[in-house]
A and B are shown apart, each in its own frame.
Chain A
Amino acid sequence: MTQSQAPELPVDQIPAFPMERTCPFHPPAAYSEIQDGDAPVKVRLTRSGRIAWLITSHDQVRQVLAHPGVSSDRTAPNFPLAVNLDPEEIKNMPKPALIGLDPPEHSVQRRQVITEFTVRRTKDLRPRIQQIVDDAIDDLLAAGKGADLVEHVSLPVPSMVICELLGVPYADHDYFQERTRALLSRDSTIEQGRRALNELGDYFVELLTAKEKNTPDDMLGRLITAGRADGTYDRDELAALARLLLIAGHETTANMISLGTVALLENPEQLAKLKADSGLLPTTVEELLRVFAIADVATSRTALVDMEVGGVLIKAGDGIIASGLAASHDPGVFPEPHAIDVTRSARAHVAFGYGVHQCLGQNLARAELEIAYETLFRRVPGLTLAVPAENLPYKNDAFIYGIHEVPVTW
């Protein structure tokens, strides 16, 4: 394989990114065309005008995300930011947590919270998650036919789980859900996005100030205690971390509950297999994670060193979008990638990313999704969509894919 620069295209001929979906259950068609070429291509981000390499092959996406020479620093000049911020504004952006940090700072912060998300800890949370899901389904049934699955199940379940884990009062859910929506919507202005981020940060500064007095036995209380013990406690830093965990902990799982439910209802032969054998729950969850890979562009990076990827030279300083969605639909790894097969071994998907930033809460998400799908289809066996799947309001306008509203009946 020889190194070559892709032919330089005039800026107006560089493909625009994000690319449009033609089917709500499939990645943008352009991803497969790029995949056929088996090499990174340059794309132009529509809102920021920045140019970045789009990487679509499973192998190359994993190669880049595991490479020690890539950075997650959002303030780098060519980082594939979706919004258009001037350099002064970038400098004033709130301090990032986890996803915006590189090793060794990233490793230090991640290690503070790993114990809260281990396979064992997540297993211990299952009975409580089951209760929360059961209560949410009671609420859905009480609301009557035509009720919105998102409002009654998809959003409350992960919101309540992450609130209890962190020690955030669930009563504040409207406040943080609204701000998360504003933050993740492509339709928000820069000012709206920044205000939402700052308000969530201020919320946590206030909450932490209160928790400092009696350090309760919840995650934030434990982190205050641990930080004080080794002299590293920094309220603003913990507020930024808590904000990230809250956003990542409710919005992503909520979208997956909605999308997965709709996908199973639209593939009745797959749903029948799952209903006949609940032992298929883990592979079903992995397959649905793979098919939607909702945080597609969360795996954006900047190259710190020159690197060869798929025969193309990516230069130090270049922006990179390592598409988790495209990688999870690589036909070389997942035959017939657009087909949903609940018996497939899909665990090599990149829906949770890859490399040192791979999703911290992935085992919590798996537990929530398994319990939500199993309980929903067991307790509401006649569940159907109240509007055709193609008419649902999909989040084509958001950085994290999902559905705004799913009216259901039974």
Chain B
Amino acid sequence: MRIKADRDVCVGAGQCVLTDPDVFDQGVDDGIVWLLAEVPGPEHEDKVREAVSLCPSGALSIVEE
């Protein structure tokens, strides 16, 4: 599972950081999504899927590999 984060679409609500702070962060200078892991381990899969569904702007997606 690979995560795609569209930094142009993100509105910085922070829902993803709240869901899995080991995978998602917000840039210090712009507050926009920043991936700490593009291909997170299987233990993060449920959280990542939750973050994608909670993201209000549609900036996050999952690319199955």
Contact = CB atoms under 8 A, between A and B. Distances in A.
Interface of A: 65-66, 107, 110-111, 114-120, 347-348, 352-356, 358-360, 362-363, 366
A347 B50 CA distance: 9
A65 B19 CA distance: 21
B31 A355 contact: no
Interface string B26-65: 1011111000000000000000001001101110000000
Contacts of B57: 66, 355-356, 358
B26 A120 contact: yes
19 contacts: A66-B56, A107-B11, A111-B32, A114-B12, A114-B31, A114-B32, A117-B14, A118-B26, A119-B21, A119-B26, A120-B17, A120-B25, A120-B28, A353-B56, A358-B57, A359-B13, A360-B12, A362-B13, A363-B18
Given A114-B32, A118-B12, A355 B26 contact: no
A366 B18 CA distance: 11
A363 B56 contact: no
A115 B29 contact: yes
Given A117-B31, A118-B31, A119-B26, A354 B56 contact: yes
A346 to B, nearest CB: 11
A83 to B, nearest CB: 28
A363 B13 CA distance: 8
A110 B12 contact: yes
A256 to B, nearest CB: 17
A115 B30 contact: yes
Best-buried of A116, A358, A360 by chain B (most CB within 10 Å): A358
Contacts of A117: 12, 14, 31
Contact of A348 (B13, B32, B54): B54
A115 B53 CA distance: 23
A66 B58 contact: yes
Contacts of B54: 347-348
Contacts of A360: 12-13
Contacts of A359: 13
Given A66-B56, A66-B58, A358-B56, A115 B13 contact: no
Contacts of B28: 115, 120
Nearest to A62: B56
A111 to B, nearest CB: 7
Contacts of B50: 347
- Which 10 pairs between the two chains have the least Cβ-Cβ distance? A114-B31, A114-B12, A358-B56, A119-B17, A119-B14, A115-B31, A118-B26, A118-B31, A358-B13, A354-B56
A250 B54 CA distance: 25
A120 B28 CA distance: 9
B15 to A, nearest CB: 8
A111 B50 CA distance: 24
A363 B14 contact: yes
Nearest to A116: B31
Contacts of B31: 111, 114-118
Nearest to B14: A119
A328 B12 CA distance: 22
A111 B57 CA distance: 13
